[in-house]
Structure 1
Amino acid sequence: MKQVYRSRAALVLGWIWVAFVAFNVYDLIARYSGKPSMVALAVLGVLTVVVYVIALRPATVFTEDGLLGRNPLRSTFVPWASVGDVTVSHSINVGYDDERMLRLWTPVSSARERAKAQRRGAPVPRRGRYPTEPTLPKAEQAAAEAFAGKTHADWVGEQITDRAERAKLRKEEPGPARVTWAYDSLAAFAAACALVIAAIVVD
């Protein structure tokens, strides 16, 4: 079963931008005025490519066979048995093939999110003889304890480590990682370049 992890904020802002651009493109086509309209379309095209590459494309994907890291310009697939050390700082860093490193673009851990996670993991000071905080159901309490002091990136990093360890326990053979260009990003850049050229040459 495939699981996809992304930055929610980047995804929401990215699709808001796409909706904004779609409205403006419709308006520019309906009120086409030659070169000014083409220049505006080129600017929107270039900005949309940047938003797509940085906000919409990056994803961390768990498949049955391995980890797929979709970064802005490349995709890297690492079989679970080939995953090495996993560390989490601002980003999730996955070691593979002995000395190589895959830096996942999403999810990331900002300083603000990490500080919030640490406050969430700190014990609540008890005031008075009797507890005044509401008691959580067991399921919610277990979830809160699992995420105590952890960011989303920390949790995803632990899931990667867990899957890699289970693959090694099953004695799966480590396989070679595959790194490929992001052809969708390259096609988007090519389309943006075509709009820029058209804006330059149109009268």
Structure 2
Amino acid sequence: MSSSDESQNSRPEPGETATPDRVFRSGAGIAGGVLLLGLGAWLGGDALVRGAGTAPWLALAALIAFVPLIVAYTLRPAVYANNQRLKIRNPFRTIVLPWAAVDDVRASYSCEVLSGEAKYQLWAIPVSLRARKAANRRQARAAAEDTSGRTSVLATSDRPLRASADQAVDDLRELAERHGRDAAAQGGVEIRWAYEVMAPVVAGGILLAVLLLIG
């Protein structure tokens, strides 16, 4: 998982300006999405150019249906956080939560934000159990070295003692606790469905089904 600082416009309260967003995204997801899009362009383009009969139309329908799905699940997910709100961009919807509406941020088998009785997953911050186990082993090793009176090599290295997903959740929880009572961080939850992703998927799926039925 990677994180970087990007400027995103929020709606600041009078007298208070939103800080630049801290952005969390999955580097592995982005890389996988680029590879899948390249493979789809290669196979689909070949069928469009060289295919006979209904093959070009089937390839076109498949591209219309599946390219938005690949983008939705790999390139689209992101989490934006500043001093006023948490913005979660998942495959098919975007959720904006002022920090006052965030009850908790947690990571078990997936990263989640709790707001009242609602629960929202953070697709952009996948949980790796292998990375968590490795981080726990590093923590145990560092604690053992400190207990024995030796200087911990891990403590002076650049290797994190927390899994990336757990560290991201800690950072988001800290922001929620720090800004939850700010005047600019009040308000309700806003949800917007990604119709720009859903519409071509439905259209492509219908076209593909019709072409398969008529043979």
Query: TM-score of the superposition, structure 1-length normalised?
Result: 0.77
2:80 aligned residue (24, 46, 61):
61
| Residues 191-200 or 161-170, more deviating | 191-200
- Aligned twin of 2:113: 94
Aligned length: 191
Structure 2 matches for 1:29-178, cutoff 5 A? 29-96=48-115, 98-123=116-141, 141=156, 143-144=158-159, 147-148=160-161, 150-168=162-180, 170-172=182-184, 174-178=186-190
- Aligned twin of 1:21: 40
Shift of 1:93: 1.6
State the alpha-carbon separation in 2 of the partners of residues 45 and 122 from structure 1.
50
- Aligned twin of 2:28: 9
SS state of the match for residue 180, structure 2? helix
Preserved CA contact (<8 Å) 1:34 1:202: no
Preserved CA contact (<8 Å) 2:25 2:78: yes
Query: TM-score of the superposition, structure 2-length normalised?
Result: 0.74
SS state of the match for residue 141, structure 1? coil
Is 1:193 equivalent to 2:205 in the alignment?
yes
Cα gap change, 1:143 to 1:73, in 2 (>3 Å): same
Structure 1: runs of 5 or more not aligned: none
SS state of the match for residue 22, structure 1? helix
Q: RMSD across aligned C-alpha pairs, in angstroms?
A: 3.0
Letter of the 1:110 partner, please give it.
Answer: S
Shift of 1:194: 5.1
Letter of the 1:62 partner, please give it.
Answer: A
Letter of the 2:52 partner, please give it.
Answer: S
Shift of 1:184: 2.5
Structure 2: runs of 5 or more not aligned: 1-19
Cα gap change, 1:199 to 1:64, in 2 (>3 Å): farther
Cα gap change, 1:167 to 1:52, in 2 (>3 Å): same
Letter of the 2:35 partner, please give it.
Answer: I
Shift of 1:169: 5.3
| CA distances 1:90-135 after superposition (whole Å, capped 9, x unpaired) | 2222122x32222212212132221122123232677xxxx8x9x6
State the alpha-carbon separation in 2 of the partners of residues 176 and 77 from structure 1.
9
Cα gap change, 1:143 to 1:95, in 2 (>3 Å): farther
| CA distances 1:118-173 after superposition (whole Å, capped 9, x unpaired) | 123232677xxxx8x9x68xxx83754xx31x221111111111111221354545
